[in-house]
């Protein structure tokens, strides 16, 4: 279930053979693996593309908060290989932070052309050293940070040259999926749908799914297709728990949980070692 640099279901095609224009706005997210726990940061990039060179600005927002930063980057793209290097930090605004440091990384990976779904995807992983910013002393240093995976997407045909709005700190994909960062959401209705699925590559993870201490779905194999359940919540506080029955091919056991309610979708990644649990709190007002 971990993000892979090769998505075998997509058609991977070298950039030069299509002359693909990468100019415009890309959206996606970062997934940070911190001690086996997964954290999500929404990401928006405007890219300028000239030959084998790319450059632009990147807005990164900590899901569920107003915390965000903007960086300037440059890089290359050749024969389907992408490299993005962070040039400098343009802005940092972290009013709700619980972190002591921020990590600004370089990335490299693959450009994936999905002609069927008219989509371009940059599937990236951090590489090399990172620029570390201390939020308390407001100083920079070089060092190593926890593993980070990035996925950016845009339409394959047609470009969007809209500039990055630096004043905006809210990033929502077109299908209005809200990334949950603090493992707590508030709803106004009891009836919801819950989907448990695999955002990345299937690696054999199996879980038990609980609601308020009672098992909803035992021995659930987490797949790309996923399982959708109709659930009625109770008033006030509800807890959805995922119990890891194994760790698949890659540790830890990780599941994507999506809540469908009132035309909106909330999504979070829950992960645990074998025998452990991770949870999402839902408060119904």
Same domain, 106 and 140: yes
Same domain, 168 and 80: yes
Q: 84 in a domain, yes or no?
A: yes
Chosen domain end from 152, 174, 196: 174
Chosen domain end from 174, 196, 220: 174
pTM recorded for the entire structure: 0.51
User: For position 241, which CATH number holds?
Assistant: 2.60.60
Give me the domain span that covers residue 59.
Answer: 15-174
pLDDT at 271 exceeding the cut of 70: yes
Q: Which tens digit of pLDDT belongs to each residue from 243-269?
A: 999 887 777 878 888 888 877 788 888
Same domain, 44 and 96: yes
Q: Which tens digit of pLDDT belongs to each residue from 193-221?
A: 888 888 766 778 899 999 999 988 888 88
Q: What is the pLDDT of residue 177?
A: 57
Same domain, 182 and 166: no
pLDDT at 82 exceeding the cut of 90: yes
Distances (CA, A) of 68 to 71, 89, 144, 153: 10, 12, 21, 20
Same domain, 131 and 223: no
Provide the CA 209 distance to its chain's centre, in angstroms: 22
Q: Which tens digit of pLDDT belongs to each residue from 158-190?
A: 444 333 333 333 333 444 556 555 688 888 889
- For residues 45-65, average pLDDT: 89
Q: Which tens digit of pLDDT belongs to each residue from 109-130?
A: 999 887 777 788 899 999 999 9
Tokens of 112: 């994936």
Chosen domain end from 155, 174, 193: 174
C-alpha span between 239 and 279 (Å, rounded): 7
C-alpha span between 188 and 237 (Å, rounded): 12
Q: 7 in a domain, yes or no?
A: no
Which stretch of 1-10, 181-190, 232-241 has the lowest confidence by average pLDDT? Answer: 1-10
pLDDT at 13 exceeding the cut of 50: no
- For residues 42-57, average pLDDT: 91
User: For position 56, which CATH number holds?
Assistant: 2.40.160
Same domain, 111 and 190: no
Same domain, 210 and 252: yes
């Amino acid at each position: 279930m971990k993000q892979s640099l090769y998505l075998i279901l997509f058609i991977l095609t070298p950039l030069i053979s299509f002359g693909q224009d990468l100019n415009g706005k890309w959206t996606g997210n970062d997934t940070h693996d911190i001690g086996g726990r997964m954290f999500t940061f929404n990401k928006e990039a405007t890219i300028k593309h000239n030959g084998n060179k790319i450059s632009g600005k990147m807005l990164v927002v900590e899901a569920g908060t107003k915390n965000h930063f903007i960086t300037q980057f440059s890089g290359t793209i050749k024969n389907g290989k992408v490299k993005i290097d962070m040039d400098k930090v343009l802005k940092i605004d972290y009013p709700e932070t619980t972190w002591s440091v921020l990590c600004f990384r370089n990335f490299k990976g693959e450009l994936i052309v999905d002609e069927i779904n008219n989509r371009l995807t940059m599937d990236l992983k951090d590489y090399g050293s990172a620029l570390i910013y201390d939020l308390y002393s407001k100083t920079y240093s070089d060092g190593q940070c926890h593993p980070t995976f990035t996925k950016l997407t845009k339409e394959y045909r047609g470009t969007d040259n809209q500039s990055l709005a630096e004043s905006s700190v809210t990033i929502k994909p077109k299908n209005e999926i809200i990334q949950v960062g603090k493992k707590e959401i508030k709803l106004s209705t009891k009836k919801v749908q819950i989907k448990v699925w695999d955002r990345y590559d299937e690696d054999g993870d199996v879980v038990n799914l609980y609601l308020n201490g009672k098992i909803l779905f035992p021995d659930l194999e987490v797949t790309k297709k996923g399982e959708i359940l109709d659930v009625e919540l109770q008033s006030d506080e509800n807890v959805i728990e995922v119990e890891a029955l194994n760790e698949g091919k890659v540790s830890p056991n990780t599941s994507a949980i999506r809540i469908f309610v009132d035309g909106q979708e909330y999504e979070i990644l829950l992960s645990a070692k074998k025998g452990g649990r991770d949870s999402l709190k839902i408060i119904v007002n």
